[in-house]
């Protein structure tokens, strides 16, 4: 990795980074800032109880999740926080090489006295830095709002869920890296689309038996966020799968890039 290449990638993604950061923070603030209106609210419980069972199942709405702050966070905030961040992060990953070709700058970039793998690793380091900054600042905001609410009983379980979310974003970035070296103009939108599709598959998993079977490919199905904040532990296979997908995606991206004719 070379710092000048990392700095270049940070500048190129600067606008989307700030968009992702502010969008994520504002979203969290808006939802968790009103958590007291949803958590342990008898009127909200009556409203949920009055909804059709099919609708509740289709959108995975559980009355129990509105009875604790952690439950509300895991079902009403966490999934949308992750899909916003993963959409941007997967787009950064998928655009690593593809955007250079679309801009017509790849010849200049690969004419520099650096190996293709060095360029790839430098871009990856920049993306990881941007994603981690957004994740850390979002986590700090989440914890501040949680602390101010006075309703958090199991902060450790909440932190474990956030750590799993970080790994989930990494796994979706891995898919983007695996695509970037051979997809050009569609790569960025394709990367973001994969992140959104994974979320939608999980969201619609309860609508039918067919969707339940199809949705098993979604990384969101590798764990139950509500169960995590209730004390469940993610099996080792879950951790290995998410980190493995990230590693395999990076390896695939580098191998394809080394073999590709960029002329």
pLDDT (tens digit per residue) in 19-31: 999 999 998 888 8
DSSP SS3 for 166: helix
d(CA 208, CA 161): 27
Task: Return phi, psi of residue 239, to 5°.
Answer: -60, -45
The predicted pLDDT at position 227 comes to 79
pTM for the predicted model, two decimal places = 0.84
pLDDT (tens digit per residue) in 121-154: 999 999 999 999 999 999 999 888 877 766 665 6
* pLDDT cut 70: percent of the chain above it: 71
The sign one gets for the Cα dihedral 170, 172, 174, 176 is negative
Number of other CB atoms surrounding residue 15 within 10 Å: 9
The predicted pLDDT at position 78 comes to 87
- 44-51: average pLDDT: 65
pLDDT (tens digit per residue) in 194-220: 777 777 666 666 556 666 666 666 777
d(CA 186, CA 115): 25
Q: Which residues contact 36 (CB under 8 A, 6 or more apart)?
A: 149, 151
The predicted pLDDT at position 31 comes to 80
User: Is residue 63 a contact partner of residue 40, using CB atoms and an 8 Å limit?
Assistant: no
Q: Is the pLDDT of residue 50 over 90?
A: no
Task: Return phi, psi of residue 178, to 5°.
Answer: -70, -20
Structure tokens at 208: 């039918």
The predicted pLDDT at position 21 comes to 94
Using CA atoms, how far residue 110 sits from 5, 98, 123, 137, 258, in Å, is: 11, 13, 13, 34, 11
pLDDT (tens digit per residue) in 89-98: 988 988 887 7
The sign one gets for the Cα dihedral 109, 113, 116, 121 is negative
Task: Return phi, psi of residue 232, to 5°.
Answer: -65, 155
Q: What is the mean pLDDT of the chain?
A: 79
Using CA atoms, how far residue 183 sits from 102, 180, 194, in Å, is: 10, 6, 14
d(CA 34, CA 26): 12
d(CA 71, CA 158): 9
pLDDT (tens digit per residue) in 9-19: 899 888 999 99
The predicted pLDDT at position 186 comes to 59
Find the angle CA(142)-CA(147)-CA(150) to the nearest 5 degrees. Answer: 130
Q: Is the pLDDT of residue 228 over 80?
A: yes
Kindly report the length of the chain: 263
Q: Is the pLDDT of residue 74 over 70?
A: yes
d(CA 177, CA 238): 20
The predicted pLDDT at position 189 comes to 65
């Amino acid at each position: 990795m070379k710092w000048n290449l990392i700095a270049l990638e940070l500048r190129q993604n600067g606008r989307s980074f700030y968009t992702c950061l502010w969008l994520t923070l504002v979203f969290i603030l808006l939802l968790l800032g009103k958590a007291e209106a949803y958590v342990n609210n008898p009127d909200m419980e009556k409203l949920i109880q009055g909804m059709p069972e099919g609708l509740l199942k289709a959108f995975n709405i559980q009355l129990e999740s509105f009875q604790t702050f952690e439950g509300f966070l895991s079902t009403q905030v966490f999934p949308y926080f992750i899909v916003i961040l993963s959409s941007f992060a997967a787009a950064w990953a998928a655009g690593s090489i593809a955007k250079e070709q679309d801009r017509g700058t790849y010849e200049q970039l690969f004419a520099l006295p650096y190996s293709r793998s060095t360029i790839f690793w430098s871009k990856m380091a920049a993306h990881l830095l941007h994603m981690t900054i957004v994740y850390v600042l979002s986590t700090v905001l989440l914890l501040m709002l949680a602390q101010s609410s006075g309703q958090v009983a199991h902060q450790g379980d909440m932190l474990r869920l956030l750590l799993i979310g970080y790994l989930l974003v990494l796994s979706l970035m891995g898919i983007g890296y695996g695509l970037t070296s051979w997809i050009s103009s569609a790569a960025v939108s394709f990367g973001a689309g994969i992140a959104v599709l994974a979320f939608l598959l999980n969201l619609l998993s309860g609508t039918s038996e067919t969707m339940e079977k199809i949705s098993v490919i979604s990384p969101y199905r590798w764990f139950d966020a509500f169960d995590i904040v209730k004390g469940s532990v993610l099996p080792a296979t879950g951790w290995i799968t998410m980190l493995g997908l990230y590693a395999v995606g990076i390896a695939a991206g580098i191998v394809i890039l080394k073999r590709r004719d960029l002329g």
